[in-house]
């Protein structure tokens, strides 16, 4: 019996270590992090951010920014990672700013092409500001079934943008 547990643990460990960042982000979503937090948590270390601070920072972006149904949190989170990777702190560095904008526009265009929208309310078809609609969204388990797929999509696009450099 102990031998079987060791074997199962090794299989699980191997599976987790073989997951790529988009898949890890999708798993974070399934575990209860919001869409933006899931992306941020998976990529924070890569861009030199303290994971705990990054996850906290992204906490208000879920549900299309505070459940307003605007830009999908998975896209917002990816845009923050792009900003950390390609952005600048110098307001006069227009070339670097432009690069970050271009990379973000690439993210938006690819996500929209793949998912038909970047707006949360269009992606999940619920108005989360309305308590009844939010309740329905939770009952249909949209956040555990549908949203992890958007996180995965955003993560894959982000990965291609980061690796193209």
pTM over 0.75: yes
pLDDT per residue, tens digit, the chain (165 aa), is 545 554 444 544 445 568 899 999 999 999 999 999 999 999 999 999 999 999 999 999 999 999 999 999 999 999 999 999 999 999 999 999 999 999 999 999 999 999 999 999 999 999 999 999 899 989 998 888 899 999 999 999 999 999 887
Domain boundaries, the chain: 21-163
Q: Do the beta carbons of residue 112 and residue 74 sit within 8 Å? A: no
Provide the 3-class DSSP secondary structure of residue 128: coil
* 151 to 14, 54, 61, 108, 112: CA distances (angstroms): 22, 16, 13, 13, 13
């Amino acid at each position: 019996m102990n031998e079987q547990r060791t074997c199962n643990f090794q299989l699980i460990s191997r599976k987790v270590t073989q997951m790529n960042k988009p898949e890890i982000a999708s798993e974070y979503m399934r575990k209860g992090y919001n869409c933006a937090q899931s992306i941020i948590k998976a990529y924070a270390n890569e861009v030199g951010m303290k994971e705990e601070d990054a996850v906290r920072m992204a906490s208000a972006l879920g549900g299309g920014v505070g459940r307003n149904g605007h830009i999908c949190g998975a896209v917002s989170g990816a845009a923050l990672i792009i900003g950390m990777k390609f952005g600048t702190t110098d307001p006069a560095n227009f070339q670097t700013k432009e690069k970050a904008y271009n990379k973000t526009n690439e993210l938006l265009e690819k996500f929209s092409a793949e998912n038909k929208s970047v707006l949360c309310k269009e992606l999940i078809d619920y108005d989360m500001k309305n308590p009844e609609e939010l309740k329905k969204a939770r009952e249909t388990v949209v956040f555990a079934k549908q949203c992890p797929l958007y996180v995965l999509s955003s993560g894959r696009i982000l990965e291609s943008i980061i690796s193209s450099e």
